[in-house]
Structures are given as C-alpha cells and as structure tokens.
Structure 1
Amino acid sequence: MTHSARDLLRTTTAALAPDPEANPLVPRIAAGTAPRATLAALALEQTWVIPADRRAFEHLAVRSAAADPEAAAFFTALAQGEALAGEHLAAFTRASSSERASYEPLPGCQAYPAYVAWLALNAAPADVVLALTANFSAWGGYCATIATALREHYGFTDEACAFFDFFAEPSPDLDRLATAAVQAALDAGRLDEKRARTYGRLLQTYEAMFWDALSATP
C-alpha cells in the first residue's frame, strides 16, 4: 500500500477533528454528574441509530460491489460491526432504561443517521469512506471515556459497557480496509477530496447535534 491514502486519511481526520471542549455531555458523564435519565436517553437514541446505520452501510456495500470492491469490503465490515454493536447495545439499554416502547426519539439525535442514509443513496462510495473514517475517530474517543465513567461513577457491569468498549477499541482491520478503498479510488481518479471533506464536516456537525440534544434532556 502506498503512503498517499494513509496521508489523506490522517490529514482529513485532523482537519475535521472537533474541538475537544465543544461536547457538552461527555465531560459530564466522565465526571459522573450526568443524570441517569440522560444515559437512558443515550441508550434509546442508539436503538434507532445503530440499525439505521447498518442498513445504510449494507446499501453502500451493494452499490459499490461491482465498480468499487475495496469500498464494498469496507462497508460490509461496517455493517457487520453495527450488527454486533446492536447486540451489545441491548445490555446497555436494559441496564439504563425500561421505557423503550414509549420513548420518542429526538430530532437532533436522529439527524446523524438520516444524513448517513442520504450519503448511502447519493454520495460516491469512496468519498463516504473518507468522510466516515475521519468522523469515527472522535466517536471512538467519546466511547472510551463513557465506558470508563459508566464503571467508575454509575456502577455499570462489563456487559452493560460492552457497546462503548466495542467502539472504543481501535480496529486495524477496518483501518486497513479504509486505506485500501481510499487508495483504489485515488489510483482510479474517482475520489473527490473536497466533496468528501464536506461530507465529513456535515457528519461532525450532525454528531455535535446528537450530543447537544442529549445534553438538553431533563
């Protein structure tokens, strides 16, 4: 693998990295001051996000299978990861909330998966690979912080924290697949870096909306 794809992934991730002080909720969870009702809302919002993202990634894998097999492999791995994350999420949801049937999702939290679905329908798959990979870096850091806080301040079990542990762990295989997909697109001249950064910027903005909306829950 040549170095250019890795460079592009690294520089794009750095350029789109959110201000670490901008997230209003994760520091409160880290300090143990976020109410348990907010943790319940986090779990219940994710019960909408995870299956939606899984289906979007499956659609992207199908769209790219013939012309862009490297991107298809990346999206297939993402979809499989979302399926596993959904299994872990069930334990966190059971531990934090008993109101799933009556819960009404927040628009600010569901803007992110709605945009991922838009990308699945409209964007060039290679551009989505770059945008998503840049976005995942911040999400993984948030999950690592939350996993620690749930154990230290809220008494959650390892089983209940497994959802956040899953996303907090680096994935060398996913990094390899992303690098291969970006490199193939660069070699074929079908990667629009400017558009991919626009997609990444919007993903980061919608993720910020997710945390803002949760932070405002009573």
Structure 2
Amino acid sequence: MYDEDVTDLIASAREQVAGPVAGNRFLDLLEAGLLPEERLGTLAGELYRLVRSDLRSCALLASRFPSPPAGGLFLSMAQGEGEALRLLLDFAAALGMDEKRLAAHEPSPLAQAYPAYLTQTALHGTQSDMALALLANAGESGRHYARAADALRSRCGFSDVSVGHFLYFADTPQELLDQAAAVLREGLARGDDPTEALRTARMVHGYEALFWSSLTEGID
C-alpha cells in the first residue's frame, strides 16, 4: 500500500472515532468537584487491572510479531505499560491504597471490557489492527488523561508525583506514533485487511468510552 493510502487510512480512522462528541461524565464531575470521593479509589482499582492486562497484551503482540518494526513498537508499548503501572501505585498511595488493596478491588465487567478486547486483538488480530487503533485513538485518550491530571491537582490537591500516571498517558511520543505508522504500512503491504483494522480502531474507541462511563454508574 502506498504511503498516501496509509495516510488516508489513518485520517479516515481518526475521523470515524471522532464522530459525535459524547462527552466524559466522569471527568465532567471530577472537574466540577462533584465526583464522590470513593470513585477515585474505584478508578485506581479498575486501572490497576486494566494496565496489568494491557502490559501482557502488548508483550503477547511483541512475541507474535517480533521482527522490526512491529517488534520494537509492541515491546515499547509493553515497557510503557510497565512504567504506567509503577506510576499508578503513586496515585493509589495518595488515596491510602497499597497494591494489596488494588488487587482486592472487585472489578466492573463494563470497565474491564476494554482490556479484554485488547487481549482478544493481541491473540487474534494483525499487527495493523493494534497499530491503527493506537494512531486513531491516542489523541482523544491523551486529552482524557490530561483532563484527569489537571482536575486531580486543581480540585483534589494531588501532587505532580501522585498524578504521574495520568500525565504519562496524556502525551503519546511522536516517535511511538511514527513507529505505529511504519508497522501499519508494513502490515498492509503484507496483506492485512484495512477494513478490519478500521473496525478495531472503532471498537477500541468505544470500549475506552465504556470504561469511563462505567465509573459513574449509580451517580445521580
């Protein structure tokens, strides 16, 4: 597939996931100072399971597609999830939660649908599926995490260290996005299905939105 075709596919994926803006009620409540305090503990517990699962999914992708550029991308993503997990423990500590309490959190099926879908993609998808999902969704996902970090500091008094997890995901390095574009280009050239890759990008977007909305269940 020619470079211009790959560029058009990335643009199409980003346009499709943008769609009508549904909002993020969890972040709206957090920014307004209306989020029940215990929901921050819920956020930490759900993220603990999500990040641990995503780490394993990225490691699986690296083992399925070890050759460059895919192997380098997925290994970097797995290492990034490991760093995000370390930083999440700082957020949990600010809430008075240790790793034992995080592990004991009873997860919500709706919240964990997102990492479950990523695991399914890591097991059965192509390298292009995950690469396009990253390229399509990194921008919006980063904005959600940036909003969370800002609100936690301004509304809840958290330190920069304690919101490091959210700051880490707020800005995806351009180098990683360039790697993902190279992985997508190679995968499509080898016969990966662009329609399926687009479908994966949309599904990842929908499941991430479901993760955030699940955190407000039961709040009037």
User: Does the pair score TM above 0.5?
Assistant: yes
Q: Which residue of structure 1 lines up, in the alignment, with residue 80 of structure 2?
A: 81
> Which residue number in structure 2 is paired with residue 31 of structure 1?
32
Secondary structure of 2:137's aligned partner: helix
Match in the other structure for 2:13: 12
Within 5 Å, give how 1:142-161 maps onto structure 2. 142-161=144-163
Looking at structure 2, the residues matched to 97 and 3 of structure 1 have their Cα atoms a distance apart, in angstroms, of 51
Q: Give the 5 Å matches for 1:68-107.
A: 69-98=68-97, 99-100=101-102, 102-107=104-109
Q: Could you give the per-residue CA deviations for residues 139-191 of structure 1, whole angstroms, max 9, x where no partner exists?
A: 111001111101100000111110010011231111110111112223x2423
Which residue number in structure 1 is paired with residue 214 of structure 2? 213
Tell which deviates more after alignment, 22-31 or 137-146.
22-31
The answer on whether the counterparts of 1:53 and 1:82 sit within 8 Å (CA) in structure 2 is yes
Kindly report structure 1 stretches of 4+ aligned residues shifted beyond 6 Å.
Answer: none
Q: Is the 8 A contact 1:36 1:96 kept in 2?
A: no
Output the CA distance in 1 between the equivalents of 2:32 and 2:8: 35
Structure 2 CA distance, aligned partners of 1:217 and 1:101? Answer: 23
Match of 1:126 among 125, 128, 134: 128
Paired position in structure 2 for 1:51: 52
Aligned residues: 215
2:167 aligned with 1:165, yes or no?
A: yes
Partners of 2:49 and 2:206 in 1: CA distance: 19
8 Å Cα contact 2:138-2:172 kept in structure 1: no
For residues 76 and 45 of structure 1, the distance between their equivalents in structure 2, rounded to whole angstroms, comes to 23
| 1:160 match: secondary structure | coil
1:93 Cα deviation after fit: 1.0
Deviation at 1:79, TM superposition (A): 0.6
Moved more, 101-110 or 37-46: 101-110
**Counterpart residue number, 2:181:** 179
Whether the 8 Å CA contact 1:71–1:126 is kept in 2: the answer is no
Q: Give the Å deviation of 1:134.
A: 1.4
- Bigger mean CA offset, 76-85 vs 101-110: 101-110
- CA drift of 1:18 comes to 5.4
- Give the conservation status (yes or no) of the 8 Å contact 1:4–1:183: no
Q: Which amino acid aligns with 2:80?
A: G
Deviation at 1:20, TM superposition (A): 3.3
What is the distance in 1 between the residues matched to 2:203 and 2:172? 23
Structure 2 segments unaligned to the other structure (5+ residues): none
Amino acid at match of 2:136: A
Please tell me whether residue 40 in structure 1 is matched to residue 18 in structure 2. no
Q: Residue type matched to 2:113 in 1?
A: A
The match for 1:112 is 114
Say whether 1:137 aligns with 2:173. Answer: no
Does the CA-based 8 Å contact 1:40-1:97 persist in structure 2?
A: no
TM-score (norm 1): 0.91
RMSD of Structure 2 on Structure 1 (CA): 1.9
Deviation at 1:102, TM superposition (A): 3.8
